[in-house]
Chain A
Amino acid sequence: MVTLPAHLVATPVLERLTPGPHDGVVLGAGATAAWVDLDGFVIAITTREVPLLPNAIALSAGSGALVGVDAGAGVGRAARLAPGRVGLGSVQVTWDPAAPPGWDPTVPVPSGATGQAVGARGAALLRALGAEGAADDHQHTPSLVRELGRIGLATAADPEGAAGLAWLFRGIRERDPEPAAAGARELLGRGPGLTPEGDDLLAAVAGTVAVLGPATGMGRSFLHSFLAALVDPAPERTTALSATLLELAAHGLLAEPAGRLLDLSPAGERAWPAALARLRRLGHGSGRAYATGIAAACLLGGATGDRAVPDRG
């Protein structure tokens, strides 16, 4: 039995483990992560190279520490989860249940944050991603999508993906959940991998709108409808892991560096460039997709944030 201490445990995970114990199913394991399905909520057990995820138990150990999971528990085998302990066959992850090393992925929003500040952050992010053209001209969403394709976003370079993005972005600009829902239908499950790029973009947009939407004047009704349009179809359309991350994003809970991009405080203003660099290390392209989605959502949401636009939620 290999025992691995947890460095941090995301609060959404802690909440779902209390009270315990629970039975889960091992979905898979790799060099830097293992995934366990707990009644439809996928917990990621990650090594220290992986940025903090809102559904993660982050280990102190580095890459390769979870090798025993694949050998012992194996895909489809049972996992046992309780406060302070997750058993994955021959690997056990532990922490002090009385004083759990919790990490809260909630992004603080400074009082007085404005749509202008949100838009400015979006523009800055797009410039940092190399999409200067999009940062300077956000009035025409097809242009924005083309620019994202130009900088290498696969979804934007694909005709159907581009159409989905255009609908999604239009939903943000016009504060209308219907085109957003159309966009989500195109984007959900689009792309390879555990978390398809389309899902990453949707999660990024959902998280941005959930966290900063109120600062741009988005009303509660619109927020509810918009986020539901992005997230509700996920369980039937994409991987369990992706659906989990989408659900969390709709509550404003994102990977740590992604959340930092949304931090409009003075500390966040200093920290976001480094956070962007960290985010780009997430997955094989997920980080880049998150960054792009956040940038676009900030730009578009902030653009209309200080004008009276009918809330069609």
Chain B
Amino acid sequence: MSGLLGQPLKVVNAGVELFAAELERQQAEVARVEWRPPADGAEGALERLGARAGEIAAANDRAVAAMQAAEPRVVGIGRAGDLLPGLDERTLLHAGPPIDWAEMCGPLRGAIIGAAIHEGIAAVPEEAVRLAERGGLRFGPCHERGAVGPMAGVVSASMPVWVVENGASGNRAFCTLNEGLGKVLRYGAYDTQVLDRLAWMRDVLARVLAAALERLPEPLDLRALIAQALQMGDEGHNRNRAGTSLLLRTLLPALLTIEEPTADVVAAAEFISGNDHFFLNLAMAAGKATADAAAGTASSSIVTAMARNGTEFGVRLAGTGDRWFTGPAGVVDGLYLPGFGPEDANRDIGDSTITETIGIGGMAMAAAPAIVRFVGGSPSDAVAATLAMYDITWAESASYQLPTLGFRGTPLGIDAREVVHTGVLPTVNTGIAHKDPGVGQVGAGLVEPPMEAFVAATRALADTG
């Protein structure tokens, strides 16, 4: 020991910054290693998975390769009940993992009520509530029917949905059309204005867009649109202005030539033009089509779904089949619209974390520094958020690149093992819904998924070996 201390020391400091700072103050050379203990309950699973590292690496390579190769394209718009398996008039799909009426939060209940009235199952809200309480309605996750939905994410049979096909693997994904901002069904509103808008979207907007899509020379290439949007200041989850603009530009020549009433075409164009988030639902469907291509890859620890129902946050892995691993949905930390604050907020909700699952959204915040004006923070925070994600992802996207990071690919393929190993949770930015149904969005911010969901998923994967 005296020999060791008698010569200049080079120190490696792991964990406590105070030690490193004090040594540097005394002119010692210090190398810092970012380290923290694995998440509670994960050590045993990580040890067992460590013994299968080669097998899992090969599986992850396959899973992420499937994601990289995905070619999500819009092939049409159709009626949800005709396209989603088992979606009859009394079945309502929702965002997030499975949940019963009794556990549903305010915004989700409001959306269920609105959808029931929209379908004609109930005439008034009270009737919808009675039906729900007495088992007259069936509920299920959008994810389990090949769909995704933003915020409450309620899908009912007569609603129009985007049909997105993965040209590489043939699987399809579906998502409703974005209703717009303010008081909308996805935030739990169900007044006359909301219901009238849903009816118009079903009867007019869907028809116009379907006709326009048929006029396109080839199916809408969502991968290309998303890639361009990321280089124009979007991140694909809470900033979709560029994507919406690109969509409208792509559709415009077709809209001008379809044989639909001019008033309907104008109304459709104005509707899309007035909603900066219209492209979100397409980005989400693209995400679902991309992530589902990796689902079912045996032994893979790659996350294929992250979704919230306003009460619970659920995770699925490629190597654990259709199982959900859940934890409490988080409280969003963010900026509130004037008149609202944390007391008004519902917990995290929506399937829109499918964007983070495929390397956009919170993963790509470095592409959208302007987003901090809505979710809080500073532009450097946005860059830092993306950089942190490379520690928990398997690869970098070949399609989605970040100009602010020298055109580096976005972090792709969340590895559940690394989440529990490093303690670094995926960055999620999201809208904040009022906890009461019918009020709408009250802000936007950042939220952390529950670590217990990733721990449970990792342990389940270890059990598959």
Take A61-B378, A61-B381 as given contacts and tell me if A271 and B335 are in contact as well, using a CB distance cutoff of 8 Å: no
Does B344 lie within 8 Å of A5, measured CB to CB? no
On chain A, the number of residues with a Cβ less than 8 Å from chain B's Cβ atoms is 24
Asked if B217 is at the interface of the complex by the 8 Å CB criterion, the answer is no
Which parts of B351-382 form the interface with A (CB within 8 Å)?
370, 372-381
Which parts of A6-25 form the interface with B (CB within 8 Å)?
6-8
A106 to B273, CA, bound (A): 30
**Binary per-residue interface labels of chain A (50-72) against chain B in the complex, 1 for a CB within 8 Å, 0 otherwise:** 01100000001110010000000
Asked if B120 is at the interface of the complex by the 8 Å CB criterion, the answer is no
B247 to chain A, nearest CB (A): 22
Does B376 lie within 8 Å of A61, measured CB to CB? yes
Asked if B136 is at the interface of the complex by the 8 Å CB criterion, the answer is no
A108 to chain B, nearest CB (A): 11
A240 to chain B, nearest CB (A): 25
The contact of B335 among A3, A4, A48, A65, by CB within 8 Å, is: A48
Take A60-B373, A101-B373, A274-B344 as given contacts and tell me if A260 and B378 are in contact as well, using a CB distance cutoff of 8 Å: no
Does B339 lie within 8 Å of A277, measured CB to CB? no
Does A60 lie within 8 Å of B339, measured CB to CB? no
A85 to chain B, nearest CB (A): 15
Asked if B343 is at the interface of the complex by the 8 Å CB criterion, the answer is yes
A5 to B369, CA, bound (A): 10
Asked if A77 is at the interface of the complex by the 8 Å CB criterion, the answer is no
Does A60 lie within 8 Å of B335, measured CB to CB? yes
**CB-CB < 8 A to B373: which residues of A?**
5-7, 60, 101
Asked if B170 is at the interface of the complex by the 8 Å CB criterion, the answer is no
Q: Which chain A residue shows the least CB distance to B375? A: A60
**CB-CB < 8 A to B370: which residues of A?**
5
Does A61 lie within 8 Å of B372, measured CB to CB? yes
On chain B, the number of residues with a Cβ less than 8 Å from chain A's Cβ atoms is 19
**CB-CB < 8 A to B339: which residues of A?**
256, 260, 271, 275
Q: Which chain A residue shows the least CB distance to B334? A: A48
Asked if A35 is at the interface of the complex by the 8 Å CB criterion, the answer is no
The contact of B378 among A4, A103, A257, A277, by CB within 8 Å, is: A4
**CB-CB < 8 A to A277: which residues of B?**
341, 343
A92 to B370, CA, bound (A): 15
Does A48 lie within 8 Å of B376, measured CB to CB? yes
**CB-CB < 8 A to B372: which residues of A?**
5, 60-61
Does A52 lie within 8 Å of B343, measured CB to CB? no
Asked if A194 is at the interface of the complex by the 8 Å CB criterion, the answer is no
Take A61-B376, A61-B381 as given contacts and tell me if A278 and B335 are in contact as well, using a CB distance cutoff of 8 Å: no
Among A4, A5, A6, residue most surrounded by chain B Cβ atoms (within 10 Å): A5
**CB-CB < 8 A to B334: which residues of A?**
48
Does B343 lie within 8 Å of A62, measured CB to CB? no
Does B377 lie within 8 Å of A60, measured CB to CB? yes
Does B341 lie within 8 Å of A278, measured CB to CB? yes
Asked if B406 is at the interface of the complex by the 8 Å CB criterion, the answer is no
Take A5-B373, A103-B338 as given contacts and tell me if A60 and B343 are in contact as well, using a CB distance cutoff of 8 Å: no
A103 to B344, CA, bound (A): 19
Does B379 lie within 8 Å of A62, measured CB to CB? no
A275 to B338, CA, bound (A): 10
**CB-CB < 8 A to A8: which residues of B?**
338
The contact of B379 among A3, A51, A256, A275, by CB within 8 Å, is: A3
A-B contact pairs, 17 of them (CB 8 A): A3-B378, A3-B379, A5-B370, A5-B372, A7-B373, A7-B374, A48-B376, A60-B335, A60-B377, A61-B376, A62-B376, A101-B373, A256-B338, A256-B339, A260-B339, A271-B339, A274-B340
